[in-house]
Each structure stands twice: as structure tokens, then as C-alpha cells.
């Protein structure tokens, strides 16, 4: 009974937050069209020919679809109030095709991405989007590269770097509590400015209805994360609640 009430409360809080996000986007719309129009039409058409997006093509090719991914990333930016905040320095971990940093740049921010250099498509999309990326592998219990600066915001959307190897059943093994503690401490002490924020956005799990294992949720909550659907937002100080709206 107690549990049912807790779930009901959670659902209501999420529903309200979601409604609030929609209302804010409606009040402060971002026009996606100019962000698409500024792209080099011919270069993207040529890329789409080489990486066709159709059912039998490799799944990675779906990332050539700018009409889909730019609006998705505008929403991600709006969720962090990046359409209404002063210029921020942003570090995007596992930046993939680079759409998030492209949108951020168009909204007046600047930043750098980190990724492994395994996808030829991402090499080309980041170049076309003018996104600077550092090639590095994020690994358990290893410090992130030294960027010679600290950031207002560190993001990681639909992260994969916590997956280590597949087990005998083909399921991914993931970072354990100590690995997450190491990573969070590294980001907080070396990557973020004093009022910085870390946003971790997780992929749906195989069961299709959760983003966090109970262990992962526990470690994030213990570190002061605010969790909303697939996202966990953390402040530099684990005793503080990070705000989706930046304070500066
Ligand atoms: C699902 S894609 C998400 C891309 C992008 N963040 C987005 O949401 O559109 C995951 C990205 O993480 C990168 N990645 C996976 N393992 C990584 C690691 N150990 N270190 C750095 N990047 C990694 C992949 O190359 C890929 O670009």
C-alpha cells in the first residue's frame, strides 16, 4: 500500500514536470528551421547517399537524418534551459554525431565533445557540424583527459561508456558502484566549475521500462542526483540539488 502510494506520487511528480517542460517550450519556442537551413545542403545530401537511412542499412545510418536529430537535440538543450541562459562552456561525453553541441553552439554556447573514433559516419557529421571533439576512451577508474579548462556543464546523452564486456548470454556488464563513484568524483573535482552541473542521460534497458538498475539509481541518489525519467542531474557538491535551470 505504502509502495503503491509512493509510485503514485512519483508518477504525479513526473507528470507535473513533463507538463511544465511542455508549457515552457510552448512559451519559449526555439525555431528549428534556421538550425537546419544553416547546414551545408549539398554536403549532407552527399553524406546521405553514402550512408543511406533505410530499413536494411546499418542502424548507425539513422544519424544522417538531420530533420529528426536536430529537433531531438533542441529539446535536450531546452530541458537544461540552454535556450535561455548566458553562454556556457560544455563538455559532451560520448558526443556521437555531434548534434547536441551543434545545437548548443547555435544557442550561443561553446564546447567540446569526447568520443572514441569508431564510427566513420560520426567523423563526417562532427566535421560538417563544426563540432570539435577529442578522441578518448572513457574507462572505469581512469581519469578523463585534461582539457586545460573547467566546464559549466558536462553532458552525456544515451551513454554507453559504462558498458564493459558482454557476458556469456550476450548481456552487457556495466560499471559497478566504485567505478561510478570514481567517475562522478573525477567529473566533479576536475571537469566542473564550482557551480557546474553534470547531466547523465541513460538508454532504455532490455526490459524496455527502466533506465536504471537499483544499484545505479542508489549510487546516483547517494551522490545527490535529481532523477527524472532517463536523466540524472548532479551538482558539484553532492549535498546540493542541481537545478535544470542554470543559476548564473
Ligand atoms: C548511443 S551513442 C549516443 C551519441 C550521442 N550522445 C547522442 O545521444 O546522440 C553513444 C556514443 O558513445 C560513444 N562511446 C561508447 N563507448 C565510449 C567510451 N568508452 N568512451 C567514449 N565514448 C564512447 C559511442 O562512440 C557513441 O558515439
**Cα gap 145→124, rounded to integer Å:** 23
What is the total residue count of the chain? 248
Percentage of residues in the chain having pLDDT higher than 90 = 79
Strands in 68-146 per DSSP E: 89-93, 110-115, 133-135
The dihedral of CA 228, 231, 236, 237: what is its sign? Answer: positive
Cell numbers placing 152: 559549466
What does the pLDDT look like over 4-14, one tens digit per residue?
Answer: 666 665 667 77
C-beta of 157 in contact with ligand 1 (< 6 A): yes
Query: Residue 108 — left, alpha, or beta (φ > 0 → left; ψ -120 to 50 → alpha)?
Result: left
Backbone angles phi, psi at 212, to 5 degrees: -125, 140
User: d(Cα 220, Cα 226) in Å, to the nearest integer?
Assistant: 8
Tens digits of residue pLDDT in 37-77: 999 999 999 999 999 998 999 999 999 999 999 999 999 99
Query: Residue 1 C-alpha to ligand 1 middle, in angstroms?
Result: 40
Whether ligand 1 lies within 6 angstroms of the CB of 111 is answered as no
The per-residue pLDDT for range 182-220, each reduced to its tens digit, is: 999 999 999 999 999 999 999 998 877 789 999 999 999
Domains of the chain (ranges; CATH) run: 71-235 (3.40.50.150)
* β-sheet with 226-228: strand ranges across: 133-135, 110-115, 89-93, 151-159, 192-202, 231-235, 226-228
For residue 198, the model assigns a pLDDT of 98
Cβ of 190 closer than 6 Å to ligand 1, yes or no, is: no
In a 3-state reduction of DSSP, which class is residue 113? strand
Q: What are phi and psi of 225, to 5 degrees?
A: -70, 140
pTM higher than 0.85: yes
The residues, ordered by sequence, that sit 6+ positions from 176 with a Cβ below 8 Å of its Cβ are 215
Q: Ligand 1: distance of its center to the CA of 161 in Å?
A: 7
118 C-beta closer than 6 A to ligand 1:
yes
Tell me which H or E stretch contains 212.
Answer: none
The residue whose C-alpha atom lies closest to atom 13 belonging to ligand 1 is 94
For the segment 101-130, what is each residue's pLDDT rounded down to a tens digit?
Answer: 999 999 999 999 999 999 999 999 999 999
Amino acid at each position: 500500500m505504502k509502495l503503491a502510494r509512493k509510485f503514485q506520487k512519483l508518477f504525479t511528480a513526473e507528470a507535473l514536470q513533463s507538463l511544465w517542460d511542455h508549457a515552457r517550450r510552448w512559451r519559449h519556442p526555439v525555431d528549428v528551421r534556421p538550425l537546419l537551413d544553416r547546414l551545408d545542403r549539398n554536403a549532407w545530401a552527399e553524406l546521405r547517399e553514402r550512408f543511406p537511412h533505410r530499413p536494411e542499412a546499418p542502424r548507425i545510418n539513422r544519424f544522417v537524418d538531420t530533420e529528426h536529430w536536430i529537433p531531438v537535440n533542441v529539446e535536450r538543450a531546452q530541458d537544461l534551459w540552454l535556450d535561455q541562459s548566458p553562454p556556457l562552456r560544455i563538455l559532451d561525453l560520448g558526443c556521437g554525431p555531434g548534434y547536441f553541441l551543434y545545437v548548443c553552439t547555435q544557442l550561443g554556447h561553446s564546447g567540446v565533445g569526447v568520443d572514441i573514433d569508431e564510427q566513420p559516419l560520426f567523423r563526417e557529421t562532427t566535421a560538417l557540424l563544426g563540432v570539435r571533439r577529442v578522441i578518448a576512451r572513457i574507462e572505469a577508474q581512469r581519469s578523463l583527459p585534461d582539457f586545460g579548462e573547467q566546464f559549466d556543464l558536462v553532458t552525456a546523452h544515451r551513454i554507453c561508456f559504462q558498458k564493459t564486456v558482454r557476458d556469456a548470454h550476450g548481456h552487457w556488464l556495466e560499471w559497478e558502484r566504485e567505478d561510478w563513484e570514481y567517475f562522478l568524483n573525477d567529473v566533479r573535482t576536475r571537469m566542473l566549475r564550482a557551480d557546474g552541473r553534470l547531466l547523465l542521460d541513460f538508454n532504455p534497458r532490455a526490459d524496455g521500462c527502466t533506465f536504471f538498475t537499483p544499484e545505479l539509481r542508489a549510487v546516483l541518489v547517494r551522490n545527490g542526483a535529481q532523477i527524472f525519467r532517463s536523466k540524472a542531474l548532479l551538482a558539484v557538491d553532492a549535498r546540493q540539488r542541481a537545478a535544470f535551470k542554470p543559476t548564473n
